[in-house]
Amino acid sequence: MTTYDPGEVGRSRSIDSGIPATGWRHLVTASDLTGRLALAGAIAVGLAVPLIWVAAQFYAPIDHDTGAILYFSDRWWAGERLYVDLIDVNPPLVFILGLLPVLIRQWTGLPEPAALIACVAATSILSTFVVWRLLAWRAGQLGRGEPGTLTSILVPLALLFALLTPGELGQREHLMVVLTVPYVVLTALRLEGRRVPLVIALGIAMAAAAGFALKPFFLLVPALIELFVLWVRRGQALRDPVPWTMGAMWAAYVGLTLLAFPEYGDVILPMTLEFYSRLGDSSPLVAFNRGFLPIEAGIGVLAIVTVLMVRSRLCQTLALFAIGTAITTIVQGKGWSHQWLHADLAFILLGAAVLAAAAERYGPTDILRQRRLGATLAISVLAFSYVAANNDQPPWFRVDRMGYDGRLGRQIALVDAEQNKDHFLALSPGIYPFFPMVNYTGTRMASPYMSMWVLQGVYKYCPASGPQRFNPVDQMSAAERRVYDTVSDGLVMHKPTLVVIDRIPGMPTCDGKVFDYLAYFMQNSKFAAEFMNYDMYKVFDRYIVYRRR
């Protein structure tokens, strides 16, 4: 098989003086029954728990952002035009990936949310398998007298648990980790000068390029890692095909976006920079967010341990990966929990790698104690992973959201009660619970926008004095005028059975007056005339529901 050799680098004295380590098979199958059963049982639990956990994901509602992207992919496949009839800030790659569960639904009849979970779970398992094979191969090459055995067990177990158990399964941050962790492990092998089959290296590089391209911010991570590779390997790094492959794919993706989706560069990108950037906290102070700060601190501590005590190439690359994900969270600056999900998962992997490397470097040398140490560490990694990734919303805690008492369940019941549920209009700053409600009911949104985020950006700040005043139509920006017109046109064209108005507009209260979405759109004569056909139907939670007569 054709291989590429990134160039041998000198092995450190610390690696050569590592503990004697047998192959992983011998570690599990050696003669001592107690130690063998302990480690085999820990591995079995480590495999079973995430697989049982992901099965529960099929009974819990999918994440609202994931549902919105899946809905847009479905409507795009049905013939609506991306960035014309479907307006969103995300570049097209995430919608392209979303076509796979849409096609599975068409081929098999499996509901799209279930198809999405199946796709993400299968890709996560494949990613874990690739990482395990790389690390097991590395452990085999290291041979007796060098570490690698426990790492080849603990890191894949932690990865499988981390990828299959988050509540925000399928988020872009989650998909980024799924697609790029094999690249991080491959980079550790590149730094150690190990030869990998070329086809495997290129496949891993292409998957990583797709993962990092899901958000422009993510490109900071491979930049940080490849700069480290260049610093360590100097000129040899320039002959490595991995970064060149990723760069070529990114260039091709940019070209495809500009050519196939010109509206993204002409309309969406300026609108994103002007208005979407105003949403959320939009501040580097997200670094002190109480949900993100413990992850930052943990990454920092593990990075220091890596530098001072472990000095493993795998731990170094995982530390850079974790640091890079933390930086992207701060750069995005929104303070939304899903934006540090990738840092959370990287923290889990780094913790598992540091534990394994430290045990191999400083732990017992006889096989019996290695097995028992491995069992203890495997269970510790599972517990650590649970606390780090699932302390807020494991799937069985989210199942009740589908019930009638939950906001999502009530929206689903509201729509399903209607004989005609072809279209639905929501005037709200948030996409939950309308997404994933549309994914489970089959209704369609009468607006091209997922939410009223453009108006949030336009009316982010109060005037110098008095209440918020709506901009006159002839003084509206192009982005605001597009919302003003297309939402009104959607009401007239699609005549949705239900119109839901959010009483919490997501904008500041100015001089005691709350922004009123209905009053805003009633300025449009077409909207006002069509809305005469609606009566107030019910009020629940933060929403006023109008029903077409």
Same domain (yes/no): 471, 371: no
Looking at 382, 398, 414, which one is the last position of a domain? 398
Same domain (yes/no): 469, 423: yes
Which amino acid makes up residue 128? T
The residue whose two tokens read 């920092």 is: 300
pLDDT value for 284:
67
pLDDT value for 388:
55
Same domain (yes/no): 124, 181: yes
pLDDT band at 256 (very low <50, low <70, confident <90, very high): very high
Same domain (yes/no): 417, 284: no
Q: How do residues 486-511 score in pLDDT, each as one tens digit? A: 999 999 999 999 999 999 999 989 98
Same domain (yes/no): 412, 369: no
pLDDT band at 208 (very low <50, low <70, confident <90, very high): very high
Whether residue 7 is contained in a domain is answered as no
Q: How do residues 231-252 score in pLDDT, each as one tens digit? A: 998 888 888 999 999 999 999 9
pLDDT value for 52:
80
For the chain, count helices (H), then strands (E): 24, 7
Q: How do residues 468-485 score in pLDDT, each as one tens digit? A: 889 999 999 999 999 999
What single string gives the DSSP state of each residue in 340-371?
A: GHHHHHHHHHHHHHHHHHHHHHHS--SHHHHH
Q: How do residues 41-91 score in pLDDT, each as one tens digit? A: 777 777 887 888 788 788 888 989 999 999 999 999 999 999 999 999 999
Task: From 223, 201, 207, 199, select the one nearest 175 (Cα to Cα).
Answer: 207
- Please state, in angstroms and rounded to a whole number, the distance separating the CA atoms of residues 410 and 541: 10
Whether residue 20 is contained in a domain is answered as no
pLDDT value for 358:
81
- Please state, in angstroms and rounded to a whole number, the distance separating the CA atoms of residues 131 and 321: 15
Count how many domains the chain has.
2
Whether residue 78 is contained in a domain is answered as yes
pLDDT over 90 at 443, yes or no:
yes
- Residue 486: which domain range? 403-548
pLDDT value for 222:
97
Within 153-305, strands assigned E span 196-197
Question: Which of 199-215 are b and which e, b meaning 16 or more Cβ less than 10 Å from the residue's Cβ?
Answer: ebbbebbbbbbbbbbbb
Give the β-pairing of 196-197 and 444-445.
Answer: unpaired
How crowded is the C-beta side of 229, counted as CA atoms within 13 Å?
Answer: 32
Same domain (yes/no): 253, 336: yes
Residue 425, Cβ density class (10 Å: 0-12 exposed, 13-18 middle, ≥19 buried): buried
Same domain (yes/no): 43, 86: yes
**For residue 146, what are the CA distances in angstroms to 34, 351, 433, 523?**
25, 20, 53, 74
Give the β-pairing of 543-548 and 534-540.
Answer: antiparallel
**Phi and psi angles of residue 133, each rounded to the nearest 5 degrees, phi first:** -65, -40
pLDDT over 80 at 303, yes or no:
yes
Whether residue 51 is contained in a domain is answered as yes
Average pLDDT of the chain to the nearest whole number: 84
Whether residue 378 is contained in a domain is answered as yes
Q: How do residues 161-184 score in pLDDT, each as one tens digit? A: 888 877 788 999 999 999 999 999
pTM: 0.87
Residue 77, Cβ density class (10 Å: 0-12 exposed, 13-18 middle, ≥19 buried): middle
pLDDT band at 146 (very low <50, low <70, confident <90, very high): very low
Q: How many CB atoms lie within 10 A of CB 544?
A: 17
pLDDT over 50 at 128, yes or no:
yes
Same domain (yes/no): 58, 202: yes
Whether residue 119 is contained in a domain is answered as yes
200-218 mean pLDDT: 96
Within 68-137, strands assigned E span none
Same domain (yes/no): 356, 493: no
Contact 496, 534 (CB under 8 A): no
